[in-house]
Amino acid sequence: MSASQFSSAETVLEALFYPIASGALPLPDDRRVLFLRARDGFRLREMAQAGWVCEQSFRPFADQLARSGFQVGDPARQERFSMTLVLPPRQRNEARAVLARAVEHARDAGVVLVCVPNAEGAKSAQSDLEQLAGPVASVSKHKCRIFWARPVTERIDAAMLRAWSDDDEVRRNAAGYWSRPGLFAWDRVDLASALLAGSLPGDLRGRFADIGAGYGYLSTQVLAQCAGVESIDLYEAEARAIEPARRNMADTVQAMGRTVPSEVFWHDVTVGLKGRYDVIVSNPPFHQGREDLPSLGRAFIHAAAQALVPEGRFWMVANRHLPYEATLAERFNDVRTVVTQEGFKVMEARGARA
């Protein structure tokens, strides 16, 4: 994590806990606290007590929480908590689904406490919670809006609760692929991924990996276009993408009429891959939140180089402005730009160096 990301996460945590630190909200005596989309940080480690449950679907953040000793899990919907803390995601449909979960977990039992940076839709999020659960109290701190409600059954908009909960269900997007709100390019086929898929030669063969697989679009194209594929592993850090990816792979295998072994891993690619591969394809992430973070793409290149067999091939796509060529040249003997189009570049690298 970069210094700026660390600072941002710490600032949001400081804001989230401000109503508790200021005395406006007491921590529950029974220690029944759930933290949805939790982030690790000094303030959480200072405030948390034994028994708190942290939910986080993004593997690197979940791993950070686990390393700090927190219980990381996803409680059953019927479980009730005296306090539910929430750091909603930016995508509004997904955020509404998270707020619906928070209200369900706190119904008639506790408080929902939410923090959203002002630049990431704080007013809309506060309005959403008020529509769903009734009156809210709020305060501003550290360029964030912090707001809370005490959901009781009589005040909850039951139809809205069901609708927003359903917004997190896996469904087909406009292109016919299984997906869900909040995933990368969740409602369409990403242009960069489509360009990479269209650039892959049909003679690729052997054991494949798709790193940063999302809902699995690239892997479905590998299966459809490369007759020599023997198996394919999908690596994705966002747990909410795992089920859509599995469904898309199953649909493609069925349409092909032949069985190709595949597995979808909830995994942080930057710590390395689980196997050795003949071909790795990737449309690597290059940002978290609003911040460009080319180091993520560079970490994907290093992971690919470590996991390829000596004659293996790495195919990736990236925005034209991202400076990946130097890292590719450092880790591979042969690097070429295959196509540059619509602001993207597709590159192939061979001969991974140790």
The phi and psi torsions of 23 (rounded to 5 degrees) equal 90, 0
Domain-by-domain residue ranges, the chain?
Answer: 3-166, 171-352
Which of 194, 36, 193, 57 shows the shortest CA–CA distance to 105?
36
Residues 6-39 have pLDDT tens digits of 348 899 999 999 999 999 999 999 999 999 999 9
Residue 213 is predicted with a pLDDT of 98
Torsion of the alpha carbons at 282, 288, 294 and 296, rounded to the nearest 10: -50
Class of domain 3-166: alpha beta
Task: Report the amino acid identity of residue 197.
Answer: A
Are 307 and 313 within 8 A, CB to CB? no
Write out the chain's pLDDT in tens, 354 residues.
333 343 488 999 999 999 999 999 999 999 999 999 999 999 999 999 999 999 999 999 999 999 999 999 999 988 999 999 999 999 999 999 999 999 999 999 899 999 999 999 999 999 999 999 999 999 999 999 999 999 999 999 999 999 999 999 999 999 999 999 999 999 999 999 999 999 999 999 999 999 999 999 999 999 999 999 999 999 999 999 999 999 999 999 999 998 999 999 999 999 999 999 999 999 998 755 555 577 899 999 999 999 999 999 999 999 999 989 999 999 999 999 999 999 999 999 999 997
- Burial class from Cβ neighbours inside 10 Å (0-12, 13-18, 19+) for residue 76 reads exposed
CATH superfamily of 171-352: Vaccinia Virus protein VP39 (3.40.50.150)
Residue 235 is predicted with a pLDDT of 98
Residue 172 is predicted with a pLDDT of 97
Q: Flag whether the pTM goes above 0.85.
A: yes
CA gap 291, 293 in Å, rounded: 6
Residue 210's H or E segment, with its range, is: strand 205-211
Q: Render 76-99 in DSSP notation, one character per residue.
A: -TT---SEEEE---SSHHHHHHHH
CA gap 327, 325 in Å, rounded: 6
Torsion of the alpha carbons at 126, 131, 132 and 133, rounded to the nearest 10: 80
